[in-house]
Amino acid sequence: MTTKTDAPLFQIQDLHVSVEGKQVLKGVNLTINKGEVHAIMGRNGTGKTTLSYTLMGHPKYEVTAGKILLDGEDITSLPPEERARKRLFLAFQYPVAIPGVSVASFLRASMKSVRSAELQPSQFRAVIKEELKKLNVPEAFMTRSLNEGFSGGEKKRLETLQLRLLQPKMAILDETDSGLDIDALRVVSENLENYRSPENGGGERGMLVITHYQRMLNYVKPDVVHVFGSGKILLTGGADLALKLEDKGYDWVEGA
C-alpha cells in the first residue's frame, strides 16, 4: 500500500472532464515526482487549458471520472482555495484584472492565506521586496490595481512573483510564455528555472509547463515532455521530443 510519504508528488489518474455537457478530457494519466518538470505541448483546442483549470478546481469543469492526487491525498473534490492552501498553484494564460485591488494588498492576502504558519505579517513586506528585486520589478508596481492596464509581460512577471512568494509544492503554468517578448520571456523563465533548482528547495517541488512552443523550454528545462491531443496525452518522451515537435509540427503525432 502506498503511503503519503512515499507517494509521487502529483498524480492524475484516468481523468475525464465535461464542460457544459461536452466531454473534453478523455482519460488523462500523468505522474510527476518531486524535483521534476513536465511539459505538455499541443495545438489550441485540444484540452490543455481545460486540464489546467480542472486541476485547480474551477467549478465550470465537471470531473466525471478519475482522480487528482497531491502528495498522495485525493484533492479531486476540494475547492480552489483549499487546493491553494495545500500548495497547488496555477499561473493563468490570461490573468484577470481586478480594479481597485492593489498588487500589494492582493499579495499580502495571498501570503496570509497560504503561508501564515511560516511567516509573521511583519515579514511579508521584506519577502515581497526581495522577490521584486529578483524579477527586476519596480516597487511602484505594488501600488497599481491588480493587472489593470498591465502589459502581457507585466502580468506574467506578477504571476511569477506570486509563484515565488507562495512557494507551492506543485506549480501549473498555463502558457506563461503567451504575450511575452524575448527579454520578458528570458527574465520570467530564468526565475522559474531558479525556483526549481535544488539549492532553492526545488528538489521537493514539481512543475507542469503547458505551452505551444519550444522557446520557453529553452530556459525551463523539462525532464519529460508530453504531446496532448483530443483530450488526452498521445505521446511522452524526453526533452528532445519538444525539439522534434518544433521541427515536424504536430501532424506526425497521430490524433494530435
**Domain membership flag for residue 196:** yes
3-class SS shares of the chain: helix, strand, coil, % to 5? 35, 30, 35
**pLDDT band for position 233 (50/70/90)?**
very high
**Domain membership flag for residue 213:** yes
Specify the 3-state DSSP secondary structure of 140: helix
Residue 111 structural domain? 10-248
pTM over 0.75: yes
Residue bearing the bigger pLDDT, 203 or 82: 82
Give the model's pLDDT for residue 255: 63
CATH number at residue 124: 3.40.50.300
**Domain membership flag for residue 108:** yes
The total domain count for the chain is 1
Lowest mean pLDDT among 2-6, 117-121, 230-234, 243-247: 2-6
**Domain membership flag for residue 222:** yes
**Domain membership flag for residue 5:** no
**Domain membership flag for residue 3:** no
What strands lie across the sheet with 10-19, from one edge to the other? 22-32, 10-19, 61-70, 73-74
pLDDT digits (tens, 9 = 90+) for 124-133: 889 999 888 8
Give the model's pLDDT for residue 138: 86
- Percent with pLDDT over 70 in the chain: 97
**Domain membership flag for residue 256:** no
**Domain membership flag for residue 158:** yes
CA 195 vs CA 162, 189, 251: distances in Å: 12, 10, 34
How many residues make up the chain in this entry? Answer: 256
Query: Is residue 1's pLDDT more than 50?
Result: no
User: For the chain, what is the radius of gyration of the CA atoms?
Assistant: 18
Give the model's pLDDT for residue 228: 95
